[in-house]
Structure 1
Amino acid sequence: MENQLHYLEMSELSQLMRSGEISPVEVTQAQLARIGQLDGSLNSYAWVAAEQALAQARQAEAELARGQWRGPLHGVPVGVKDLFWTKDMPTTAGTTIYRDYMAPQDATVVQRLKDAGAIILGKLRMTEGAFAIHHPDLPAPANPWGAEHWAGASSSGSGVATAAGLCYGALGTDTGGSIRFPSAANNLTGIKPTWGRVSRHGAFELAASLDHVGTMARSARDALALLSVVAGHDPKDPTSLPGAAPAASGIDDSLVGLRVGVDESWLSDGVDPAIQRGLQQIMAFIEEGGGVLHSVRMPDTRAVSTSWEKHCGVQTAVAHAATYPARAAEYGPALSRLIDGGLELTGLEYQRILLDAQRFTGEVDALLDQVDLVLAPVQPYAAPTYEQLAGLALDPEANRRLIQFTSPFNVSGHPCLSLPCGFTQAGLPLGAQFIGKKGSEALLCRAGMAVQRVSDWHKQHPPGI
């Protein structure tokens, strides 16, 4: 068990700790040792909080020994993307400007993890300001499936650490695909919830109306277990939705009766054949499991994906007004370009973008009145090499195609579940996603759990790690 301890699912680990077969201290020590062994080359952690984590583990161990069980995350080591405030370690948001910033309090999601008894191992690296590229003066996480390939953005460290067994799950954020891209690149399951389902209090903004706080793990069940702890209304965030968090327990991992929409032309529009085969296999699982496939027509995503960067840029300029352009020389080129584009946009141009967003949102709402979920890829191809990625920045249409399946649902606020759907011939992971009605995170995870009950893609781990 020691050799595979780091790849246990949270639910398995939780049962072992609750029964006393293994202790939170042993697990945390093993995780810290593994980070020390592997993260020098993977660069997934910006900050490792060894002393704090061991103190939390000792507290969890004592509580479990007294029969005091806080829930399925009690004693489970997790990581936190480095844009969430943590009062006991720095929060840099992937920047150099904030390299020494110490927040006055924990972000709401961090406090909720601590209240659930989770062990916070540390802060996970991310792209600068949660946009596309890492700051040139900071190391970028290495994809454990192939270091020359993209690890996803912006929750790159969250993806790498979870995939490599350096934490059991992680918090991320998604503004244009930043949970789903690293989930696909690292063979993980990620939830971009409904906008407002999870509090953004204590999270550095990229674009307030597009930012979604979510979770990443090695299975749909684990991703939902994390979400069920951090979601729910927060008085500190007036935009957070009312109502309780989605329940992780008691979900029937069945596809029976689920109506899943499929737009064959959309799914095949420039999509690599290997991903199309993965989607076809998921469709087969759905029908074999008692679900029903419905042919649908997805609303046109071209306008919202084409304008996504401008939409984001205006809001990013607002978020960075205190430091940009005053400290522009300390910014990397990608984030500078994004903010400059936002500053140059006219009010009329931005209003047209907002009207397109409203139209698209209404059309997706109408489509999801006909079906429960819609199936889609995460991106048209497996994680590109960094050389290929550099070329995308020079080609607006190629960049739009990369985000055409993700960014529209940041604009509309609909929840998405990213999950593995196979591998390329070279062994790189591939990702699919389910898109659901607002508030349907539990249903999305039900579908994901059902697919993962009859497949083993999510059980594959990076070779040699």
Structure 2
Amino acid sequence: MNTTSANTGVEFRELHEISRLIQTGQLSSREVTAAMLDRIDRLDPSLNAFAAVMRESALAEAERNDERLARGDWLGPLHGVPIAVKDLAYTHDAPTAAGTTIHSDFRPDFDATVVSRLRAAGAVVLGKLRLTEGAFTGHHPDLPTPVNPWDSATWSGVSSSGSGVATSAGLCFGSLGSDTGGSIRLPSSANGVTGLKPTWGRVSRHGIFALAPSLDHIGPMTRSARDAAIILETIAGHDPHDPTSALEPVPRYSQHLRLDRSPVVGFDRELAEAHFDAPTNAMLESTIETIENLGWRVIDVRTPDFLAAAQDWTALCGVETAGVHDETYPARRSEYGPDLSGLIDIGRGLSAIDYHHLLESRRAFTGRMRSLMADIDLLLLPGIGVGSPTVEQMKSLGSDPELFAAATVPTAPIDNCGMPSITLPAGFTQRGTPLAAQFVADDFGEQLLFSAAHAFQQSTDFHTRHPELAGG
């Protein structure tokens, strides 16, 4: 499908623009919500982004928000704005299946903290978005796979694939994803949207179906850094229901997007040459040229062993996932798909000594990353190390070591150490599909990430382009 560099319809407006139109009365929340629901009805049968569309409750939320606004009670920049959430976040008014068939009938009696905070801020929840089984790498074989709106033969990412597709295709103005090994960054890269993986603990995981608790991060997927900042400042913050959530106060990220100074950016050329393909490295060189023209300083750095950290990640994730699924696996093994069951088997096969060594390696890697970040402000990586892979290419992810490295080296190690990162549209392949850059910051460096990403997006137009969809 061809791209266009301008937003031509309301459905492709940025979240903050829709917010302003609703606040000033140029559009009502109900009008916008109804339009988005109609668009979902029209386009999603071929895109498979939604696991559940919550039409009635969304329209009711929109009407309540319009009534509050008519009384002069404006709740903030999410007031009346239609968004969608990954179907591993509990919702009291819709099932939460987490991409599984085992939990297809699970209907929690409360909202996840992130969902309750979005609703308290006036956001309208359009529905639940599809994901891979249990948020690992593969979709359950009995369930639909989201389709990349740029090109149906191009991979749509894992595991927040529905979030990436829906946001890119103009089916919502922002979404929630989760990232355990790259699952905000990979679908953001694949679908050409902006994704923010926060510092581990920055966002509560209460009411979130876990993949691997010490690696799971919840964050926004949007059309711009400004929009991601609006969502993060809403969902972040300590939650007494999640004792691992951070106590640090939450800045008003979206109100402070101007950089205080030009950042120093580290780039490991040896890492890039060893693991990333030619289109990806060309995109990174173009990104470096852009940020140097902004006055940023780019320096050569040597990163810790990212490949070893990525390989460790699989085993670490497997152990924790085995614990999460202990009640249903192996007792109901036949109901699991091959990818998730394979991961659990890896975890169940490790000894306590094996796990001890993995934890020691993780601590050492995290310490080396903190030493690296002490000398730079940002680390530049791609969102994925293979440029816009096809669905066919990714079938060999588990058997091709070079493909595994290209896909996981830029992402999984950043989950191991828990540092925040932002993924940005930063180019296109020759066939017109998106490429993405990633900036990593030190712990709780989200404000710097948003400000840097905003500056990049003020100088480029990659994030403003969108897929052309038949009937859309």
**What TM-score results when the alignment is normalised by the length of structure 2?**
0.96
Superposition pairs of residues 239-388 of structure 1, within 5 angstroms: 239-254=244-259, 256-388=261-393
Q: Distance in 2 between matches of 1:272 and 1:20?
A: 48
Partner of 1:192: 197
Partner of 2:30: 25
Partner of 2:83: 78
Q: Is 1:202–2:221 an aligned residue pair?
A: no
Cα pair 2:85 2:127 within 8 Å, conserved: yes
Q: Is 1:98–2:128 an aligned residue pair?
A: no
Paired amino acid for 2:69: L
Partner of 1:148: 153
Given candidates 449, 452, 455, the residue that maps to 1:450 is 455
Cα pair 1:381 1:430 within 8 Å, conserved: no
Q: Distance in 2 between matches of 1:272 and 1:76?
A: 39
Q: Is 1:108–2:101 an aligned residue pair?
A: no
Task: Report the Cα offset of residue 63 of structure 1.
Answer: 1.1
Q: Distance in 1 between matches of 2:49 and 2:408?
A: 24
Given candidates 28, 48, 56, the residue that maps to 1:51 is 56
Cα pair 2:89 2:96 within 8 Å, conserved: yes
Task: Report the Cα offset of residue 393 of structure 1.
Answer: 1.7
Choose 365-374 or 271-280, whichever is displaced more. 271-280
Given candidates 423, 439, 464, the residue that maps to 1:459 is 464
- What secondary structure, in the 3-state scheme, does the structure 1 residue paired with 2:255 have? coil
Q: Distance in 1 between matches of 2:369 and 2:46?
A: 42
Q: Is 1:432–2:451 an aligned residue pair?
A: no
Cα pair 2:52 2:127 within 8 Å, conserved: yes
Cα pair 1:275 1:422 within 8 Å, conserved: no
Give the gaps of 5 or more residues in structure 2. Answer: 1-5
Q: Distance in 1 between matches of 2:266 and 2:83?
A: 34
Cα pair 1:256 1:289 within 8 Å, conserved: no
Partner of 1:136: 141
Q: Distance in 2 between matches of 1:80 and 1:337?
A: 27
Q: Is 1:177–2:179 an aligned residue pair?
A: no
Task: Report the Cα offset of residue 255 of structure 1.
Answer: 7.7
Choose 180-189 or 289-298, whichever is displaced more. 289-298
Q: Distance in 1 between matches of 2:8 and 2:100?
A: 36
Task: Report the Cα offset of residue 398 of structure 1.
Answer: 3.0
Paired amino acid for 1:194: T
Q: Deviations over 1:352-376 (max 9, x none)?
A: 1111111110001011110111111
- What secondary structure, in the 3-state scheme, does the structure 1 residue paired with 2:276 have? coil
Q: Is 1:167–2:162 an aligned residue pair?
A: no
- What secondary structure, in the 3-state scheme, does the structure 2 residue paired with 1:268 have? helix
Q: Distance in 1 between matches of 2:384 and 2:442?
A: 21
Paired amino acid for 1:201: H
Cα pair 2:386 2:403 within 8 Å, conserved: no
Partner of 2:3: none
Task: Report the Cα offset of residue 295 of structure 1.
Answer: 1.8
Cα pair 2:380 2:439 within 8 Å, conserved: yes
Task: Report the Cα offset of residue 65 of structure 1.
Answer: 1.5
Count of residues paired in the alignment? 465
Task: Report the Cα offset of residue 275 of structure 1.
Answer: 2.1
Partner of 1:414: 419
Paired amino acid for 2:286: Q
Q: Distance in 1 between matches of 2:60 and 2:170?
A: 21
Paired amino acid for 2:302: R
Q: Distance in 2 between matches of 1:245 and 1:209?
A: 21
Q: Distance in 2 between matches of 1:2 and 1:418?
A: 20
- What secondary structure, in the 3-state scheme, does the structure 2 residue paired with 1:392 have? coil
Given candidates 62, 66, 70, the residue that maps to 2:71 is 66
Runs of 4+ with deviation above 6 angstroms: none
Superposition pairs of residues 225-240 of structure 1, within 5 angstroms: 225-240=230-245
Paired amino acid for 1:305: A
Cα pair 1:113 1:229 within 8 Å, conserved: yes
Choose 392-401 or 28-37, whichever is displaced more. 392-401
- What secondary structure, in the 3-state scheme, does the structure 2 residue paired with 1:137 have? coil
Q: Distance in 2 between matches of 1:272 and 1:395?
A: 14
Task: Report the Cα offset of residue 346 of structure 1.
Answer: 1.0
Cα pair 2:19 2:78 within 8 Å, conserved: yes
Change in Cα spacing, 1:43 to 1:150, as seen in structure 2 (3 Å) is same
Cα pair 1:44 1:142 within 8 Å, conserved: yes
Q: Distance in 2 between matches of 1:259 and 1:33?
A: 46
Task: Report the Cα offset of residue 306 of structure 1.
Answer: 1.2
Give the gaps of 5 or more residues in structure 1. Answer: none
Partner of 1:126: 131
Task: Report the Cα offset of residue 244 of structure 1.
Answer: 2.3
* C-alpha RMSD of matched pairs (Å): 1.4
Q: Is 1:38–2:43 an aligned residue pair?
A: yes
With CA pairs under 8 Å and 6+ residues apart, which has the higher RCO, 1 or 2? 2
